[in-house]
Structure formats: C-alpha cells, structure tokens
Amino acid sequence: MLRNRRKAAGLTQKQLGERIPLSQAMIAGIELGNEIPTAPTGQLIDDAVGADGELAAMWHHVRKDLQQQALFPIWAHGYLEAEREATRIQHFAHVFPGVTQTEDYARAIFESAAPLFGGDIEEKLEVRMERRSILDRDDPVWFWSILDESALYRVVGSHEVMCAQLTHALELVKRPRVTFRILPYDKGMPGGVVAIGAVLLLSRPGKNEAVYWESGLNGALLEIPSEVGVYRAFYDHLDLEVLSPRASTELIRKAREEHHAHCTRH
C-alpha cells in the first residue's frame, strides 16, 4: 500500500526517505512489510504521501496485533481475532470474563499471575481494557456469561475491588445484549474435567461455531464440528442448572452487599 501511495505522489524511495528522514533501505523494508514504523514516523510517512491517515491507521492495527502476540500465549492469538469477529459469545468460568472486568479487577488477576507467567502487567491491562469495546460498539456482541457462584465471593484483589466489579456487572446486565447467570453451589458441574478453566462458544458470520478453552498453561481455539460439539453439549447441560437472569442478578447484588460489609468494617 505504501508503494502505491508513494508512486502516486511521484516520489522515489530515496526522496520519501529524505522527507522523514529515513534511509532508503528502511523505506524499502516498510514497503515489503519487513519493518513497521513507530506511530510518529508512520504519521510523517502518511502525511508525506497524502494518505489521509489510512497508512497510519493500518500500521497502528499492525502494531497492536504484534503487541498482543508478544503479550499472550500463541494459543490465545486465534481467540483474540475470533472475539473481534463474534456476533455472539457464550462464556463459562470461575472468574468474570475479560471483556466485563473493571481495570482494578483485571490488574489484580494479572498481578497474581505475574510470578508464574511474567509479562508486562500494564501492557496486558491496556489490551484487556481495549477488548471491552465489543460491548460498546454500534452493533455490540451478544454476550451471555455463566459464572460459577465462587466468582461472586472469592476475593480478587480486595473487597473494594470486588464491590466495584460486582457493581459493574449490575450495570452491564441493564444492557439488552449482556446476561449473567449463576451456577449455584448446590448444583452439579456437568462435564467434569471439561469445566476446569474457561469455556467460550463463539458465533461468527459465515463461519462454523467455534469454541475456545483455556486452563493454566494450555488452551485452544477449536473449529472442528465434532470437537465443538462436545463443548456445546457441556454448555447446554450447564444451562439447565443455572439460575434465571433475575435470580442471578439478585445473587450478584447480595454478594456485593457482603463485600461492602467487609469494606465498612475497616
């Protein structure tokens, strides 16, 4: 794309490089896709060839993709792309899903995981907060989450953090496309070992249903129908055991009050 824009502007690689300034070899590398300019340099190149922000925006997305690939395990990369494409996501886990987390809740999770997995906490946090945009776009994803009841009571970070997270969840359920349902303690867990970690079923336009699972050091995005079918059956059986949306909302509200009581004692 840069090559076409440069030629349309009547510039050679050397002439364009002199305007930035960058070496001709660097310009050639960017045109071949072997080099990605920094944000300021990318904007200078964009201005020089009259791309009206198109090149700068493209490189911004490329840098974000590279950042995500560096921050997260390889088996999560496919999910991040699928999440952006999804029109419906069905989730189950023992913690609130990433796109519904407050900043403090997410930070507490990353901080607790840092001794085992390392990585830059603030960079991971930035990516996670940006992922929440799938709930805020003009045509937001339908997001249905089944949470084990333990997610409401296990303290992530502090009672204050939990109060804020539960308050955020109560605000989210006011949206027509977001639903939380709770699997209570007194119900069985269908699927046994399948239920360990997180399970997400994703519907995407023009593609087969996919499932993403993760647990500890492992995870995968599955698209083979026979494999997806196992997790679809698990989720459908799980759906029979959970509380209604109304009862789940009341339980979230009750849990928030209990965390709040701990906050006010100190």
Give per-residue burial for 208-227: e unless 16+ CB within 10 Å, then b.
ebbbbbbeeeebebbbeeee
- In this prediction, residue 23 carries a pLDDT of 83
User: What per-residue confidence (pLDDT) applies to 17?
Assistant: 83
Average pLDDT of the chain is 87
Report the SS3 class of residue 92.
Answer: strand
Q: Are 94 and 149 in contact (CB under 8 A)?
A: no
Residues ≥6 apart with Cβ < 8 Å to 231:
194, 199, 201, 211, 213, 222
Q: Which two tokens stand for residue 221?
A: 């995005």
CA distance 85 to 205: 8
> Could you say which architecture CATH assigns to the domain 2-65?
Orthogonal Bundle (1.10)
**Fold identical between 2-65 and 73-264?**
no
The pLDDT assigned to 2 comes to 84
At the top level of CATH, which class does the domain 73-264 belong to? alpha beta
Domain boundaries, the chain: 2-65, 73-264
Residues 53-89: tens digit of each pLDDT: 887 888 677 666 656 555 666 777 788 889 999 999 9
Provide the token pair at 103. 């900043």
Rounded to two decimals, the pTM is 0.73
Report whether 134 contacts 175 (CB < 8 A): no
Residue linked to tokens 């949470």: 147
Task: Check residue 69 and give its pLDDT.
Answer: 55
Q: Using one digit for the tens of pLDDT, what is the confidence trace for 230-242?
A: 999 999 999 999 9
Which residues on adjacent β-strands are paired with residue 180?
145
Place of tokens 């997180």: 198
